[in-house]
């Protein structure tokens, strides 16, 4: 396809510019979003099982007037039944947007390279950009700003941490991370994060890392596909548990975030997960709002919808009224 007609994709958060990222957060908070997917919908492919991602993205598509169609890995078989490229070509004829939750990131890249509609990374082993959108939306709602905030991530330097670090740099927030040896960012990842403009600090002691932070963030010590490492990781991460003592070291105004699901008692205690500083449920609900804002933004660029979003108060009826007037 011609480069001028190529759709925009979101495979990592810095596929956006900083201004585009902020625009998506603004669109996420529209109370009455235009029905840009009316008469169509989105196709969602899941190599990995999902609760928040599937539910939030399906609801976002529905709230934009579309029908979500979700397929499991067994039904799709990316690179087993059909190549990623063939699936990109196929599914782009069925909906206005494709979302895929995969293991290997290259599958998304290959799908996007041939798709005629936007491809959204719903999670890969390398990145989790839609989680970062929800995280930044939550932080902005908590503090009324993003610029100048300090976010400390305690735990495994994984795909969630990487995307969050990049996103923090894009909005002017600093990022600290404290991880046990063997579970830290490698030099390639740190270079990638710093290339996004992120002020990133790697700090061995989690109590030092959280001092003065505005938000403390953690994730599960072991994720899907890593259950066999559970005991090894529990021993390695034992000093990196977010408990009441660690939150006290951060200060009274800090908020706690977790992308969920939580292994209660491992990466965070019940007292923190359910405590007054926790924002994990608004954060989880913002997965839906930020996904809706993202798809609206794609529509604004003429990719995911029949018409663009004319502004923050645009509604689909305005476009219909204009078309009727032109035809009279």
- Longest pairwise C-alpha distance within the chain: 73
Helix axes 84-91, 105-114, angle to 10 degrees: 50
Interatomic CA distance for residues 57 and 298, integer angstroms: 14
Report residue 296 as tokens: 């609206």
Give yes or no for a cis peptide into 261 (omega within 30° of 0).
Answer: yes
Interatomic CA distance for residues 132 and 168, integer angstroms: 9
Catalytic residue from among 23, 101, 192, 258: 101
Helix axes 280-300, 129-143, angle to 10 degrees: 110
State whether CATH 3.40.1190.20 applies to domain 129-282.
no
Catalytic residue from among 23, 259, 277, 283: 259
259 is catalytic: yes
101 is catalytic: yes
Contacts of residues 109-114 at CB distance under 8 Å and 24 or more positions apart, as own/partner, are: 109/11, 110/83, 110/84, 110/85, 111/84, 111/85, 111/87, 112/9, 112/11, 112/88, 113/85, 113/88, 114/85, 114/88, 114/89
CB atoms inside a 10 Å sphere around CB 225 = 10
Given the candidates 3.40.50.1360, 3.30.470.10, 3.40.50.10470, 3.40.50.1370, the CATH classification of the domain at 3-128+287-314 is 3.40.50.1370
Catalytic residue from among 52, 54, 110, 128: 128
Contacts of residues 180-186 at CB distance under 8 Å and 24 or more positions apart, as own/partner, are: 180/236, 180/237, 180/239, 180/240, 182/236, 183/155, 183/156, 183/157, 183/233, 183/236, 183/237, 184/157, 185/157, 185/161
What digits encode the pLDDT tens for the residues 146-190? 999 999 999 999 999 999 999 999 999 999 999 999 999 999 999
63 is catalytic: no
Interatomic CA distance for residues 328 and 324, integer angstroms: 6
pTM to 2 decimals?
Answer: 0.91
Give which of 151, 120, 121 is closest to 135, Cα–Cα: 151
287 is catalytic: yes
The answer to whether 3-128+287-314 and 129-282 have equal CATH topology is yes
pLDDT of 300: 83
pLDDT of 322: 37
Residue ranges with strand state E in 28-96: 41-46, 67-72
pLDDT of 318: 38
131 is catalytic: yes
What digits encode the pLDDT tens for the residues 84-123? 999 999 999 999 999 999 999 999 999 999 999 999 999 9
- The domain segmentation of the chain, as residue ranges, is 3-128+287-314, 129-282
Catalytic residue from among 219, 241, 266, 292: 219
pLDDT of 122: 98
pLDDT of 317: 37
pLDDT of 2: 53
The parts of the chain modelled with pLDDT lower than 50 are 306-308, 310-328
């Amino acid at each position: 396809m011609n480069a001028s007609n190529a759709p925009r994709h979101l495979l990592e958060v810095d596929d956006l510019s900083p201004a585009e990222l902020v625009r998506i957060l603004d669109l996420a908070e529209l109370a009455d979003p235009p029905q840009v997917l009316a008469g169509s919908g989105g196709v969602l492919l899941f190599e990995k099982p999902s609760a928040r991602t599937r539910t939030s993205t399906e609801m976002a598509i529905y709230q934009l007037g579309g029908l979500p169609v979700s397929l499991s890995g067994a039904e799709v078989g990316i690179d087993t039944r059909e190549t990623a490229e063939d699936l990109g070509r196929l599914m782009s004829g069925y909906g206005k947007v494709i979302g895929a939750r995969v293991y290997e990131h290259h599958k998304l890249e290959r799908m996007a390279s041939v798709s005629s509609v936007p491809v959204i990374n719903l999670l890969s082993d390398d990145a989790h950009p839609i989680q970062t959108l929800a995280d930044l939306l939550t932080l902005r709602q908590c503090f009324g700003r993003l610029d100048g905030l300090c976010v400390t991530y305690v735990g495994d330097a994984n795909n969630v941490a990487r995307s969050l670090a990049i996103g923090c740099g894009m909005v002017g927030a600093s990022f600290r991370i404290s991880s046990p040896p063997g579970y830290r960012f490698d030099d390639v990842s740190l270079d990638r994060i710093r290339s996004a403009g992120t002020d990133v600090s790697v700090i061995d002691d989690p109590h030092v890392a959280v001092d003065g932070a505005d938000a403390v963030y953690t994730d599960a010590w072991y994720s899907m596909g890593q259950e066999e490492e559970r005991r090894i990781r529990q021993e390695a991460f034992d000093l990196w548990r977010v408990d009441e003592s660690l939150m006290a070291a951060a200060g009274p105004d800090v908020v706690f975030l977790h992308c969920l699901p939580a292994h209660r008692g491992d990466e965070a205690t019940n007292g923190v997960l359910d405590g007054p500083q926790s924002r994990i449920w608004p954060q989880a609900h913002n997965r839906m709002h930020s996904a809706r804002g993202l798809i609206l933004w794609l529509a604004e660029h003429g990719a995911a919808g029949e018409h663009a979003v004319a502004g923050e108060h645009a509604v689909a009826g305005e476009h219909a009224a204009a078309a009727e007037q032109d035809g009279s």
